[in-house]
Amino acid sequence: MMNKRAFMMAAGAGSAAAAMGLMSPVASATGTVAKKRRTYVLIHGAWHGGWCWKYVAESLRKNGHRVYTPSLTGLAEHSHLLSPAITLTTHITDVVNLFRWEDIEDAVLVAHSYGGWPVSGALEQIGDRVRSVVFVDAFRPENGQRVMDTNSAQFQQALKAALARGEAGRPVPDAGIFGILKPENRAWVQSKMTPQPAGVAVEPIKLTGAVEHVASKTYVRATGYSQPHFDRYFANAKADPTWRAIGMDPKESGHDVMIDAPDKLANILEHV
């Protein structure tokens, strides 16, 4: 049985640790564990914006974490900036500048879907500021690839025609293509989406493999969503001991994992 002196010492240690944000969890006298306050940067996919992380961010903030959910240039609250001049470099720079201007260090950097492109590019510049990277049903591009290279021939032709006409963005699709489970969530996503900047699809990405130098690497796959590229990334993660691979049950989530299963995704992010 813990005596009064031991109880006071344990309680004091737990309070001090919480105040200082120590790296290691500290067990309190009651047996609970104080989690370290982390910093999360959540990067959205095509047609989406920072809004799609609303419920994941709320869950993480409730547990005391610092969370950034930027919208990339030309999308969501920045949709008034949509322009043919927006390139993949623009979106990479969005992520890099957030880290630099907010003095972000030791972060968990999360990418969803298209977000894997700017996140992969940004890691080339801010990889030393990232403790963990998580790809959530996201692209993992190779050096020299373009976004359009991962799309069908029909899509590529349509994109080239749109660019030739000087169109700045790809029209918003039906939210049903993301396999969102609840009708009310599909309606919410549909109401928020904005055109995806077309120019991001044609610039080759420049990578040297910086992602592999991040200490913790995780791939989360929405297994019920059909996407051959994501299947390959997931298989590669499962075969690589330096990666962690997590599959989401189709009954739990479609492609928009942060919409269908925000609490489960937040829990995953707290344990990477």
71 is catalytic: no
Separation CA 250–CA 261 (nearest Å): 11
Contact 128, 105 (CB under 8 A): no
Contact 234, 136 (CB under 8 A): no
Ramachandran angles phi, psi of 144, nearest 5°: 90, -10
Contact 126, 92 (CB under 8 A): no
- Residue of 59, 71, 113, 253 marked active site: 113
Contact 239, 264 (CB under 8 A): no
User: Among candidates 172, 148, 183, 171, which has minimal Cα distance to 254?
Assistant: 183
Contact 180, 254 (CB under 8 A): yes
Separation CA 17–CA 46 (nearest Å): 40
- Active site positions, annotated: 113
